[in-house]
């Protein structure tokens, strides 16, 4: 199978993860896809294939050259985002994209337009894979899986390309921040690895946000409104006051580059109780700590006014992998050279998010991130360029080829 055939096969599996689940994988579909890929690995003749009860799938392409070469790994994740359904994905290939609007769903007037997504114009003349406007596509990260599998097959078919031992791994639940939690780095056994989980062609990333999740619970006091004076405490008003004390211009819609943010991701409640969910992000560790402290300070301030009616729970999610990867910058430089040699212009930029590679780097596996080619992840406007996927395959092969002592 070529990379497109593999991708179209993989997106037919519903692997949407579930942040409310307490098991790994968080959804059964991820294991079903892992079992299917395991069969492909066996048919390809890969070795040391393991699939554990948590849907962590690993395999080896043995060295055909110097056994002392560094062992490189390539990683992608099985799950798709909880933000939109990944069931019954109906992809369509737009041949030789002309730069105009793409009607995804005529009945519901869902249109993928360069006026809203100007990056589309970078892919004029290319073949694009799009959704039907009713689901996400799943290029995040099934494009990465397809690219890794296709590159490994290419290396098998071309033994004249001499290489060391190659390890590949596909893990569950990246989209809910748990992809690396049960990843056995020692079993994987690599000197370093690359996640194939970036966006636009050429992206090469080795620094990401420091990240935390915050849940704020507001406990109110409900009284009949006709007799509520000096008695009622409306939890919804408390929540609104809390949100108003965070800086307006430090929201995702107003930030870019290295700028951090507070992002309100969920809000539920009544007069009696309200829950707000935030994600907190910043590349700079000191500024990140200040953001977390601001949440604590606002909570303390409001509790002095409202009698400890507010509870703040903060969970650290991941740290900026730059401090781990930068001392071993040769692994970034290797990917940089590989891109240049397959005529891809490297674009080194910070990830405005996180990947499994961030957590894996702090578990002892330095792990920069490379483009997979998709754009507009997590929603109905997601698409991927076939040329970008093909280039990602070439980059993987070239990294393997250039890996020398």
Active site residues: 79, 174
CA neighbor of 83 nearest in space, from 175, 9, 169, 3? 175
Question: What's the DSSP call for residue 155?
Answer: H
Produce one character per residue of 242-278: b if its CB has 16 or more CB atoms within 10 Å, e if not. bbeebeeebebeebeeebbbbeeeeeebebebbebbb
Cα(40)–Cα(46) distance, rounded to whole angstroms? 9
C-alpha closest to that of 238 among 270, 262, 206, 212: 270
- Give the integer Cα–Cα distance in Å for 147 and 196: 8
Helix 386-402 × helix 330-341 angle, to 10°: 120
Per DSSP bridges, beta strands 383-385 and 374-375 are: antiparallel
Ramachandran angles phi, psi of 319, nearest 5°: -120, 165
- Look at residue 43 and give its three-state secondary structure: helix
The alpha carbon dihedral of 34, 40, 42, 45 has a sign of negative
């Amino acid at each position: 199978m070529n990379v497109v055939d593999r991708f179209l096969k993989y997106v037919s599996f519903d692997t949407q993860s579930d942040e409310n689940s307490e098991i790994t994988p968080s959804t059964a579909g991820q294991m079903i896809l892992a079992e299917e890929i395991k069969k492909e690995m066996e048919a390809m003749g890969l070795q040391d294939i393991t699939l554990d009860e948590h849907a962590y799938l690993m395999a080896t392409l043995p060295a055909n050259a110097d056994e002392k070469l560094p062992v490189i790994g390539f990683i992608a994740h099985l799950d798709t985002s909880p933000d939109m359904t990944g069931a019954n994905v109906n992809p369509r290939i737009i041949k030789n994209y002309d730069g105009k609007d793409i009607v995804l769903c005529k009945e519901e007037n869902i249109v993928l337009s360069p006026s809203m997504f100007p990056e589309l114009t970078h892919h004029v003349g290319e073949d694009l894979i799009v959704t039907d406007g009713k689901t996400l596509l799943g290029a995040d990260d099934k494009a990465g899986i397809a690219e890794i599998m296709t590159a490994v097959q290419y290396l098998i078919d071309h033994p004249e390309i001499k290489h060391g031992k190659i390890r590949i791994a596909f893990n569950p639940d990246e989209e809910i921040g748990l992809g690396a939690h049960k990843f056995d780095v020692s079993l994987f056994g690599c000197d370093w690895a690359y996640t194939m989980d970036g966006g636009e062609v050429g992206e090469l990333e080795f620094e990401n946000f420091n990240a935390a999740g915050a849940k704020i619970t507001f406990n109110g006091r409900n009284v009949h409104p006709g007799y509520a004076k000096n008695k009622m405490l409306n939890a919804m008003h408390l929540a609104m006051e809390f949100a108003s004390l965070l800086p307006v211009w430090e929201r995702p819609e107003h930030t870019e580059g290295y700028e951090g943010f507070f992002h309100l991701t969920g809000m539920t409640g009544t007069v009696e109780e309200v829950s707000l969910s935030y994600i907190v992000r910043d590349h700079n560790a000191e500024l990140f700590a200040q953001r977390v402290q601001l949440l604590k300070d606002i909570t303390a301030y409001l509790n002095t006014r409202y009698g400890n009616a507010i509870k703040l729970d903060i969970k650290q999610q991941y740290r900026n992998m730059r401090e781990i990867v930068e001392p071993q910058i040769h692994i970034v430089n290797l990917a940089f050279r590989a891109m240049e040699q397959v005529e891809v212009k490297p674009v080194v930029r910070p990830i405005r998010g996180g990947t499994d590679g961030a957590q894996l780097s702090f578990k002892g596996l330095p792990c920069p991130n490379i483009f997979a080619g998709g754009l507009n992840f997590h929603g109905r406007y997601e698409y991927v360029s076939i040329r970008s996927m093909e280039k990602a395959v070439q980059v993987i092969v070239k990294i393997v080829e250039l890996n020398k002592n």
